[in-house]
Amino acid sequence: MQDQDHHPITAEQDDTDSARVDAFIARWRQATGSELANYQLFLTELIGLLDLPPPDPAQAEASENAYCFERKVVFYHPDGSTSLGRIDLYRRGCCVLEAKQSGLVTQTTAWDAAMLRARAQASNYARSLPADEGRPPFVLVTDVGKHIGVYADFTRSGANYIPYPDALSHRIYLEDLRRPECRQRLRAI
Protein backbone atom coordinates (compact mmCIF):
# COMPACT_ATOMS: atom_id res chain seq x y z
CA MET A 1 0.00 0.00 0.00
CA GLN A 2 1.20 3.57 -0.72
CA ASP A 3 0.18 7.01 0.49
CA GLN A 4 -0.79 9.90 -1.80
CA ASP A 5 2.91 10.81 -2.32
CA HIS A 6 3.62 7.18 -3.32
CA HIS A 7 5.57 6.30 -0.17
CA PRO A 8 5.03 2.84 1.27
CA ILE A 9 2.57 2.86 4.16
CA THR A 10 3.82 1.02 7.20
CA ALA A 11 1.65 -1.27 9.32
CA GLU A 12 1.89 1.29 12.13
CA GLN A 13 0.56 4.07 9.86
CA ASP A 14 -2.23 1.80 8.67
CA ASP A 15 -3.20 1.04 12.29
CA THR A 16 -3.16 4.77 13.10
CA ASP A 17 -5.36 5.51 10.06
CA SER A 18 -7.76 2.73 11.08
CA ALA A 19 -8.02 4.09 14.62
CA ARG A 20 -8.64 7.64 13.32
CA VAL A 21 -11.31 6.41 10.91
CA ASP A 22 -13.02 4.32 13.60
CA ALA A 23 -13.05 7.30 15.98
CA PHE A 24 -14.50 9.55 13.27
CA ILE A 25 -17.23 7.05 12.44
CA ALA A 26 -18.13 6.49 16.10
CA ARG A 27 -18.30 10.25 16.72
CA TRP A 28 -20.43 11.13 13.70
CA ARG A 29 -22.71 8.10 13.70
CA GLN A 30 -24.33 9.67 16.78
CA ALA A 31 -24.99 13.10 15.19
CA THR A 32 -28.67 13.97 15.37
CA GLY A 33 -28.60 17.77 15.57
CA SER A 34 -29.40 20.20 12.82
CA GLU A 35 -27.49 20.59 9.57
CA LEU A 36 -26.50 24.15 10.51
CA ALA A 37 -25.15 22.99 13.86
CA ASN A 38 -23.09 20.13 12.44
CA TYR A 39 -22.10 20.34 8.79
CA GLN A 40 -19.04 22.62 9.03
CA LEU A 41 -17.58 20.64 11.93
CA PHE A 42 -18.31 17.33 10.17
CA LEU A 43 -16.66 18.49 6.95
CA THR A 44 -13.68 20.05 8.75
CA GLU A 45 -13.06 16.79 10.62
CA LEU A 46 -13.53 14.74 7.42
CA ILE A 47 -11.04 16.97 5.59
CA GLY A 48 -8.60 16.46 8.48
CA LEU A 49 -9.16 12.71 8.41
CA LEU A 50 -8.22 12.79 4.71
CA ASP A 51 -5.06 14.78 5.56
CA LEU A 52 -6.13 17.66 3.33
CA PRO A 53 -5.79 21.40 4.00
CA PRO A 54 -8.79 23.04 5.66
CA PRO A 55 -10.93 25.63 3.87
CA ASP A 56 -9.75 29.23 3.95
CA PRO A 57 -11.46 31.95 5.97
CA ALA A 58 -14.16 33.58 3.85
CA GLN A 59 -13.50 36.94 2.21
CA ALA A 60 -16.05 39.74 1.80
CA GLU A 61 -15.71 39.62 -2.00
CA ALA A 62 -17.18 36.31 -3.22
CA SER A 63 -14.71 36.03 -6.11
CA GLU A 64 -11.86 35.85 -3.58
CA ASN A 65 -13.30 32.69 -2.02
CA ALA A 66 -11.59 29.85 -3.85
CA TYR A 67 -11.93 27.29 -1.00
CA CYS A 68 -14.38 28.12 1.75
CA PHE A 69 -17.61 27.44 3.56
CA GLU A 70 -20.70 29.48 2.66
CA ARG A 71 -19.54 30.71 -0.77
CA LYS A 72 -22.04 33.31 -1.99
CA VAL A 73 -23.57 32.90 -5.46
CA VAL A 74 -26.10 35.00 -7.34
CA PHE A 75 -29.03 33.35 -9.10
CA TYR A 76 -30.27 35.23 -12.19
CA HIS A 77 -33.95 34.60 -12.88
CA PRO A 78 -35.81 34.82 -16.24
CA ASP A 79 -37.78 37.88 -15.07
CA GLY A 80 -34.53 39.81 -14.55
CA SER A 81 -34.55 39.51 -10.77
CA THR A 82 -31.75 38.00 -8.72
CA SER A 83 -31.49 36.10 -5.46
CA LEU A 84 -28.58 34.97 -3.32
CA GLY A 85 -27.56 31.48 -2.37
CA ARG A 86 -24.70 30.02 -0.38
CA ILE A 87 -22.68 26.94 -1.26
CA ASP A 88 -22.02 24.89 1.88
CA LEU A 89 -18.44 24.06 0.80
CA TYR A 90 -16.76 25.25 -2.37
CA ARG A 91 -13.37 24.64 -3.90
CA ARG A 92 -12.76 26.45 -7.19
CA GLY A 93 -12.03 24.14 -10.09
CA CYS A 94 -12.84 21.15 -7.92
CA CYS A 95 -16.24 20.82 -6.30
CA VAL A 96 -19.45 22.16 -4.87
CA LEU A 97 -20.67 20.34 -1.78
CA GLU A 98 -24.22 20.51 -0.44
CA ALA A 99 -24.74 19.31 3.11
CA LYS A 100 -27.96 18.01 4.65
CA GLN A 101 -28.82 16.34 7.90
CA SER A 102 -31.93 14.52 6.78
CA GLY A 103 -32.81 12.55 9.89
CA LEU A 104 -34.04 9.86 7.48
CA VAL A 105 -33.07 6.22 7.25
CA THR A 106 -30.59 5.72 4.40
CA GLN A 107 -31.52 3.75 1.31
CA THR A 108 -35.24 4.44 1.63
CA THR A 109 -37.46 6.14 -0.94
CA ALA A 110 -37.75 9.29 1.18
CA TRP A 111 -33.98 9.45 1.75
CA ASP A 112 -33.21 8.87 -1.94
CA ALA A 113 -35.59 11.70 -2.85
CA ALA A 114 -33.95 14.03 -0.30
CA MET A 115 -30.48 13.26 -1.67
CA LEU A 116 -31.65 13.83 -5.26
CA ARG A 117 -33.06 17.23 -4.25
CA ALA A 118 -29.72 18.05 -2.61
CA ARG A 119 -27.87 17.05 -5.79
CA ALA A 120 -30.16 19.31 -7.83
CA GLN A 121 -29.50 22.16 -5.41
CA ALA A 122 -25.73 21.65 -5.64
CA SER A 123 -25.92 21.47 -9.45
CA ASN A 124 -27.82 24.78 -9.48
CA TYR A 125 -25.11 26.33 -7.33
CA ALA A 126 -22.43 25.07 -9.74
CA ARG A 127 -24.28 26.58 -12.71
CA SER A 128 -24.65 29.89 -10.85
CA LEU A 129 -20.93 30.38 -10.34
CA PRO A 130 -19.40 33.21 -12.39
CA ALA A 131 -18.46 32.08 -15.91
CA ASP A 132 -14.81 33.07 -15.41
CA GLU A 133 -14.56 30.56 -12.53
CA GLY A 134 -15.95 27.75 -14.66
CA ARG A 135 -18.04 24.86 -13.45
CA PRO A 136 -16.39 22.40 -11.10
CA PRO A 137 -16.05 18.81 -12.30
CA PHE A 138 -17.58 17.42 -9.08
CA VAL A 139 -20.73 17.91 -7.07
CA LEU A 140 -20.82 16.24 -3.65
CA VAL A 141 -23.83 15.73 -1.42
CA THR A 142 -23.51 14.72 2.20
CA ASP A 143 -26.06 13.61 4.72
CA VAL A 144 -24.02 14.54 7.79
CA GLY A 145 -22.85 11.48 9.67
CA LYS A 146 -24.27 9.04 7.12
CA HIS A 147 -23.20 9.44 3.52
CA ILE A 148 -21.32 11.31 0.79
CA GLY A 149 -22.64 11.10 -2.76
CA VAL A 150 -20.22 11.85 -5.60
CA TYR A 151 -21.32 13.18 -9.00
CA ALA A 152 -19.21 14.35 -11.92
CA ASP A 153 -19.51 16.36 -15.12
CA PHE A 154 -16.12 16.29 -16.82
CA THR A 155 -17.39 18.52 -19.63
CA ARG A 156 -17.47 21.20 -16.89
CA SER A 157 -20.61 22.62 -18.44
CA GLY A 158 -22.65 21.98 -15.29
CA ALA A 159 -25.31 20.44 -17.52
CA ASN A 160 -25.43 16.91 -16.15
CA TYR A 161 -23.71 15.73 -12.98
CA ILE A 162 -23.91 11.94 -13.03
CA PRO A 163 -22.97 9.37 -10.37
CA TYR A 164 -19.20 8.90 -10.12
CA PRO A 165 -17.45 6.57 -10.63
CA ASP A 166 -20.71 4.79 -11.51
CA ALA A 167 -24.30 4.39 -10.35
CA LEU A 168 -23.45 1.45 -8.09
CA SER A 169 -20.52 2.95 -6.18
CA HIS A 170 -21.02 6.72 -6.12
CA ARG A 171 -22.36 6.63 -2.56
CA ILE A 172 -19.80 6.49 0.20
CA TYR A 173 -21.47 5.62 3.48
CA LEU A 174 -19.79 6.53 6.74
CA GLU A 175 -18.62 2.94 7.33
CA ASP A 176 -17.10 2.88 3.81
CA LEU A 177 -14.46 5.32 5.05
CA ARG A 178 -12.73 2.28 6.54
CA ARG A 179 -11.85 1.29 2.97
CA PRO A 180 -8.63 3.04 1.85
CA GLU A 181 -9.90 3.30 -1.74
CA CYS A 182 -12.93 5.32 -0.61
CA ARG A 183 -10.75 7.71 1.37
CA GLN A 184 -8.39 7.98 -1.60
CA ARG A 185 -11.28 8.79 -3.97
CA LEU A 186 -12.41 11.63 -1.69
CA ARG A 187 -8.80 12.79 -1.25
CA ALA A 188 -8.31 12.92 -5.02
CA ILE A 189 -11.50 14.97 -5.50
What span, in angstroms and rounded, lies between the C-alpha atoms of 91 and 165?
Answer: 20
What span, in angstroms and rounded, lies between the C-alpha atoms of 78 and 159?
Answer: 18
Determine the pLDDT at residue 12: 53
**Does position 180 have pLDDT exceeding 90, yes or no?**
yes
Determine the pLDDT at residue 50: 96
User: 78-105, pLDDT tens digit by residue?
Assistant: 999 999 999 999 999 999 999 999 989 9
**Does position 142 have pLDDT exceeding 90, yes or no?**
yes
Burial 95-133 (b: 16+ CB within 10 A, else e): bbbbbbbbebeeeeeebeebbeebbebbbbbbebbeeee
**Does position 5 have pLDDT exceeding 60, yes or no?**
no
Determine the pLDDT at residue 2: 47
User: 20-71, pLDDT tens digit by residue?
Assistant: 999 999 999 887 767 777 899 999 999 999 999 999 998 888 778 899 999 9
Residue 72 CB contacts under 8 Å (≥ 6 apart), including other chains: 62, 65, 84, 85, 86, 87
Beta bridge partners of 91: 67, 95
Which residue did the predictor score with more confidence, 144 or 9?
Answer: 144
The confidence band for 158, taking pLDDT boundaries of 50, 70 and 90, is confident
- Please report how many Cα atoms fall inside a 13 Å half-sphere around the Cα of residue 78, on the Cβ side: 0
Determine the pLDDT at residue 92: 95
Percent of the chain with pLDDT over 90: 76
Determine the pLDDT at residue 14: 60
Q: What is the pTM of this model?
A: 0.88
Determine the pLDDT at residue 1: 45
